[in-house]
Amino acid sequence: MDNQTLKDNWQTYCNKPSIWHNKFHLEMPFGLVNDPNGLCVYNGKYQIFYQWNPTGCQHINKHWGYTTTTDFINYSIPQLALAPIDDFDKNGCYSGSARVNNNRLELVYTANLKDANNIRYPRQVLAIKNDDGSFSKKEILVDDVPSGYTTHFRDPYLFKHSNRSFFIIGAKRENLTGCALIYEEVNNAWQLRGELKTDYKDFGYMWECPNFINIDGHDVLIFCPQGIKAQGHKYNNIYQAGYLIGKFNPDTLEFTHGEFQELDHGFDFYAPQVLVNKNRNILIGWIGMPEKESEYPTTNEGWIYSLTMPRELHIKNNIIYQTPVQELNALNKNNETYLNCQDLILNTPCKITLDIDMTDKNYWQGDFEIGGDILKLSFDKNTQEFCVNRDDLSLGGKGKRYFTVSVKEKLHLDIYIDTSVMEIYYQDGEAVATSCYYAKEKLSAIPVKTNIPTSITVSQLNSIEFN
């Protein structure tokens, strides 16, 4: 596949009949998409890269796909920016990040190489965007794995702190515990500074996709620990994506921080990356889960996984609040509000806003009929737990996810419903849950019932566009 072919045939690929393709979530018409990569602003445009196997729905042959946007609604036709065709990256151009340095767009990614015995040789590589729009791999920045660590060493994330340039990278120690290492750029060379010192010394066996950012004056580590056991309703997905809020000392690498909190409470969320644009932090996550491919029937249509809506991040009361970037309001076609409503028929794609008065009520339940199956959402005021229940769905992953949201009187929900993805925002972003759902046949409508008469505002949404 080359970029000219992609460009010439894009609309044809997108017009292929599909039951499940989403309308306002970024996804590819074929192949496998996973982590967002290289998020930054360059020449006034948001640069969005992502892991893409354009040749099938397996986790192999990882390229970097590439699109740009100024408004998160109109995207350039996706291209392939990096292909795993060199000796050092033939087993995949794995995740990484980007920055603009002297007006040049620079990408840093993990070149994945495995030998005949499946031993990994990860290298951290610099690539740049050329004037003609193509990308060139320029230089191996880090050629080896530091001693004390295994070859699970990947996903460099570039960041600035105290006017100094760093990247943080995910690692697995030789004692099989996960951590993140910090490199600093000094006189144009990348030097290993050491481990980020956190209180989580034995927290999973590998930390994937670390991000280090500043939100509203707080230093924040976002990372994806693997190997955390479920604890009651916490950590129920195979791998987690969460964060620590604190303060970083770039001289000692000490990070004093609070407790690990999950970023998203749905079934399908992993490997998020944050785009830093001055003081604005915009997070995009992968809607999918490693090692759970069998839960996604879209492979029958030749594609798998999507990216979340871009979300702006703020911190209140030691929690990261996430809300879809305000640019997405332009997707709204019309708004209609139904008062005291208990039954409604929805057409996707849409957003619905519910204001549920729990003053005299202990339990709310919303049933969403997905082609004869029911996706159930509920909230129990006594336990303050919200539940997303997919047990009744015939296709895709099943189970329940519970999480706490603080509600005294009003439960406020903004639910973004795409063809096969639902992103639910609670109490103006205090919690988010992203989950896939699959109708057995092409959905014509979603009948919704709620046990408490409720104000419901429905907005039909437009699709994002590629042009």
Q: Which of 2, 35, 199, 268 is catalytic?
A: 35
Cα–Cα distance, 259 to 338 (Å, whole number) = 40
Q: Minimum CB separation from ligand FRU for residue 232, in Å?
A: 25
Dist. CA 53–CA 42, nearest whole Å: 25
Contacts of 165 (CB under 8 A, 6+ apart): 158, 159, 184, 185
Task: Produce one character per residue of 126-157: b if its CB has 16 or more CB atoms within 10 Å, e if not.
Answer: bbbbeeeeebebeeebbeebeeebbbbbbbbb
For residue 22, give the amino acid letter.
N
Gap between the Cα atoms of 327 and 322, Å rounded: 14
Quickly count: other Cβ atoms within 10 Å of residue 175's Cβ: 11
Nearest-approach distance from CB 224 to ligand FRU, in angstroms: 7
- In this structure, the number of other CB atoms found within 10 A of the CB of residue 318 comes to 10
Nearer to ligand FRU by Cβ, of 95 and 459: the residue is: 95
**Residues that bind ligand FRU in the complex, under the rule CB under 6 A:** 34-35, 51, 62, 94-95, 110, 154-155, 208-209, 270-271, 290
CB of 158 to ligand FRU, least distance (A): 15
Minimum distance between the CB of residue 290 and ligand FRU, rounded to whole angstroms? 5
Kindly tell me which of 179 and 271 has the beta carbon lying closer to ligand FRU. 271
Q: Kind and range of the H or E element at 6?
A: helix 3-14
| Annotation says 89 is catalytic | no
The smaller minimum CB distance to ligand FRU, of residues 109 and 321, is found at 109
Task: Return the number of the residue (288 or 366) whose C-beta is nearest ligand FRU.
Answer: 288
Minimum CB–partner distance for residue 369 and ligand FRU (Å): 33
Contact 129, 117 (CB under 8 A): no
For residues 105 and 224, which CB has a smaller minimum distance to ligand FRU in the complex?
Answer: 224
Distance separating the N- and C-terminal Cα atoms of the chain: 19
Closer residue to ligand FRU, CB minimum distance, 299 or 455 = 299
Provide, rounded to whole angstroms, the least separation between the CB of residue 269 and ligand FRU: 11
Kindly list the catalytic residues.
35
